[in-house]
Structure 1
């Protein structure tokens, strides 16, 4: 019951954050005097989506009502959600299979060994809440102090990015990297409303990082993906790495991440 209440609150917070980022000019609405809040008013969004303003208000307030897929589609269009945000909206509204909120199963020994087999390429496996479940020596060298942990405080990539001073030196593009990571954490936390693995981590990050306190209420969401990172290393200096993310078949929220130096192909 508490989990459902938390999920309804998450849905309301997500809708409100997306409503507040759209201006009337963007959707062709006339100016109507001074506004006390940023973005669209609730009744304006309801009009754009073709639904009752009162009903939409109840939805944003987290009341115990269920939105149909047609209504969610209309809201997603009116809010101009991208495909990841749309999927997150449907997830929070109960129209997608939510992952269990139990502790994840331990990593099988043969899976935990994969990063070791990939040495000397940096590799690690992270859980849904960014706990580092397995890693190799090259990952230690790439991300100093990432895997330093204690029995009651496991290594965690999000904690390293926001709370470890070395991260701001190693990650050349720290702010966009940190924003993207927080958006991905927000997506995963939305699938586990009330799960202490996420609430404890988010509370810790918020307490220690002014950026998390500022960015978390924006409710940015993003799926995990591969890409490139510019890292500053002792000796060689700044090197651009390509990284690839693989989701494990039995535990899709656990992800194997592999790094390699990015080299432009010759013409």
Structure 2
């Protein structure tokens, strides 16, 4: 295993300090890198051939047993560096109370805006100020599971590369393009290309089950948890839909609503 590097013990090590800084958004934006914590996410990234700079692991944990198939593929000329580190470094580079004994340093790989327009009948989830990282991660996961073309994160939306967002995606960010954009510029361009901009509103009278998600490209706009879509974005929607509720509940969590709508679009398009 020629990619194996020397053991790092101290949290004061320059490399370890740089990794820990990636828990802060400004350093992620400055370096174009982010952290992936835990066995599942690291495996998902390796399977997806995502660009990884390094994989740090607790040498005494035995975690490498779960990565034997990946280690056997290493030829020393490509792939991430595998670096044994102390449990203290693992804890320093994690926000979880009981961190898993492995994490990876990944490079950002943002898609181009043209990715959004490439599909003949695209289905894109557009997030307008969704602030909770768990909600953003869950919507990315639902988008990937329902076969959506992409996810767009508008201004005011939680950072995709926040560790909590990353954990909530459960690796789905490796399987669906996620793009950050100014919705006030992007949505008019989409409308000019004949794409339906569909908002979500509790005031809408139009049921999502009556709307035709199948015949053309649809961008589904999901608003802030408390206030919904911003007035500027709402004005750009061609129509709004609502999820009918026969039981007693004021509304659905935005991630739950997104899941219902994305899978309704999938049902119409496939089944």
TM-score w.r.t. the length of structure 1 is 0.26
The structure with more helix, counted as a fraction of residues: 1
